[in-house]
Amino acid sequence: MQTHLRMSGIAAAAVLAGALALGGAHAADTIKVGAVGPKTGPLAGGAAITHWPNFQLWVKQVNDRGGLKLKSGRAKIELIEYDDRTTPSETINAVQRLATQDKADFIIAPYGTGFNLATAPIFAKYDYPMITATAITDKIAELSKRYPGMFFTIGDTTAFTQSVVDIVKKANSEGKIGRRVAMVNVADAFGIELANAARPNFKKAGLEIVYDKSYPLGTQDLSPVINAAKAAQPDAFVAWSYPPDTFGLVEQAKIQGLNAKVFYTAVATAFPGFGGKFGKSTEGILGAGGINQDAPETQAYLKAHQEVTGKSADFWASAVVYSTLQILERAIEGVGSKDRKAVIDYIKKNTFDTVLGPLKYVNQNNEKFWTVGQWQGGKYYGVASTGRPGAKPIIDKAAW
């Protein structure tokens, strides 16, 4: 596999190209696929687990098979990567560059809810299928009408928040906890929308939010947030958080002794590094998403991911990202060409076998997804979903 480097004012692009056969390569032998996401900035750590390694795995697997099967023959993937520095304007510029200068045949959806929403108009303008893997929103119906090639895989805001509310309510109804909830959120599109959806759901469930605080993306010191949350004496702690703050909030909760019996943090709770850092303290911690670790397709994926990338996949969104690449691959091969409009139409009409199991978009939305996971016995399992099999019963959280 050859590696090229392109430099621009917006980012450094690492180009991973499948090796071309000596003496007879033609342009038709290659499909250019663009990828944008953070390699620097606050979300770089999360993308390094969930986003980038899956592209490395997918490209190697496809190119090792000889490339994508088109009517004209096999075409190997050339992957063009741009660092958006966790800055929406950089994401927009990079996607625009891929479309207009690099002439990418396809572009993979970027990392993070806000970044997907920011670039959706560009994907639509140039008829790129946009199979999102890390965009959670309640505006799916509206966005699907506006952008006919935009697909949503990981879930919607209402389902995610309702699952957490249901878990807290059940613990309260069983007499395990009281009604007091401390809720915090990262102040970007992801955290704000989840918090806004959760407030009326908690109230409707008869639960009382006794602390409600947002904090800027990239906040380094989260001790004031946890200190104030602890002072509110919550029975449940819920954080709509991104990777850096998920780690920071748990670390401060341990230091300050915030021992809420229901404890939920969002993105990165499913990371292997989370279990590695907090060890036995993770027992019973709830988080976003999950997977069925017992499913054969999941086990095969986790093994391949480790072997090819040298990294462990996370136990939620990694598999979602990989499933979107499987869908893109099979849609391109189903059409047999680089015709992006035809690929979009193919995705809308077909069911795909993926690492998540069978997946079909209904009105451009995947309706069966994991909503809540939990650490149990050193592993992270899905415990709530909208129709995925293999959920584990929820256990009580251990004290720090």
Q: 231: which residues sit within 8 A by CB, 6+ positions away?
A: 211
227 & 202 share domain: yes
Q: Give the per-residue pLDDT at 23.
A: 34
Q: Give the per-residue pLDDT at 26.
A: 43
Q: Give the per-residue pLDDT at 31.
A: 98
Digit-coded pLDDT (tens) for 208-239: 999 999 999 999 999 999 999 999 999 999 99
pLDDT at 2 over 50: no
Alpha-carbon distance of 50 to 267, in angstroms, equals: 10
Residue 68 placed within a domain: yes
Lowest mean pLDDT among 27-31, 241-245, 324-328: 27-31
Global pTM exceeds 0.75? yes
Q: Give the per-residue pLDDT at 380.
A: 97
| Tokens representing residue 282 in the block | 């993770």
pLDDT at 15 over 60: no
Q: Give the per-residue pLDDT at 252.
A: 98
pLDDT (average), residues 151-159? 96
- In this structure, what DSSP letter does residue 20 have? P
319 & 352 share domain: yes
Digit-coded pLDDT (tens) for 331-362: 999 999 999 999 999 999 999 999 999 999 99
3-state helix/strand/coil string of the chain: CEEEEEECCCCEEEEEECCCCCCCCCHHHEEEEEEEECCCCCCHHHHHHHCHHHHHHHHHHHHHCCCEEECCEEEEEEEEEEECCCCHHHHHHHHHHHHHCCCCCEEECCCCHHHHHHHHHHHHHCCCCEEECCCCCCCHHHHHHHCCCEEECCCCHHHHHHHHHHHHHHHHHCCCCCCEEEEEEECCHHHHHHHHHHHHHHHHCCCEEEEEEEECCCCCCCHHHHHHHHHCCCCEEEEECCHHHHHHHHHHHHHHCCCCCEEEECCCCCCHHHHHHHHHHHCCCEEECCCCCCCHHHHHHHHHHHHHHCCCCCCCHHHHHHHHHHHHHHHHHHHCCCCHHHHHHHHHHCEEEECCEEEEEECCEECCCEEEEEEECCEEEEEEECCCCCCCCCCCCCCC
* Number of domains comprising the chain: 2
Digit-coded pLDDT (tens) for 18-65: 433 333 334 458 999 999 999 999 999 999 999 999 999 999 999 999
The model's confidence at residue 393, banded by pLDDT at 50, 70 and 90, is: very high
139 & 64 share domain: yes
Q: Give the per-residue pLDDT at 4.
A: 38
Residue 117 placed within a domain: yes
Residue 399 placed within a domain: no
Domain holding 265, by residue range, is 157-289+371-385
Residue 336 placed within a domain: yes
Number of neighbouring beta carbons within 10 Å of residue 89: 11
| Tokens representing residue 265 in the block | 């943090």
241 & 375 share domain: yes
106 & 219 share domain: no
The model's confidence at residue 398, banded by pLDDT at 50, 70 and 90, is: confident
Digit-coded pLDDT (tens) for 249-307: 999 999 999 999 999 999 999 999 999 999 999 999 999 999 999 999 999 999 999 99
356 or 1, which is more confident: 356
Q: Give the per-residue pLDDT at 14.
A: 42
Digit-coded pLDDT (tens) for 58-92: 999 999 999 999 999 999 999 999 999 999 999 99
Residue 273 placed within a domain: yes
Q: Give the per-residue pLDDT at 29.
A: 86
215 & 195 share domain: yes
Digit-coded pLDDT (tens) for 159-213: 999 999 999 999 999 999 999 999 999 999 999 999 999 999 999 999 999 999 9
Q: Give the per-residue pLDDT at 386.
A: 97
pLDDT at 381 over 70: yes
Strands 30-37 and 73-83: parallel
DSSP string, 35-97: EEE-SSSTTHHHHHHHTHHHHHHHHHHHHHTTSEEETTEEEEEEEEEEE-TT-HHHHHHHHHH
Question: Distances in Å between the alpha carbon of 365 and those of 67, 111, 151, 369?
Answer: 28, 18, 6, 10
8 & 148 share domain: yes
Q: Are 287 and 264 in contact (CB under 8 A)?
A: yes
116 & 197 share domain: no
pLDDT (average), residues 112-127? 97
Alpha-carbon distance of 87 to 98, in angstroms, equals: 17
138 & 85 share domain: yes
The model's confidence at residue 102, banded by pLDDT at 50, 70 and 90, is: very high
Residue 393 placed within a domain: no
Residue 396 placed within a domain: no
Residue 397 placed within a domain: no
165 & 285 share domain: yes
Residue 279's domain is classified under what CATH number?
3.40.50.2300
259 & 310 share domain: no
283 & 376 share domain: yes
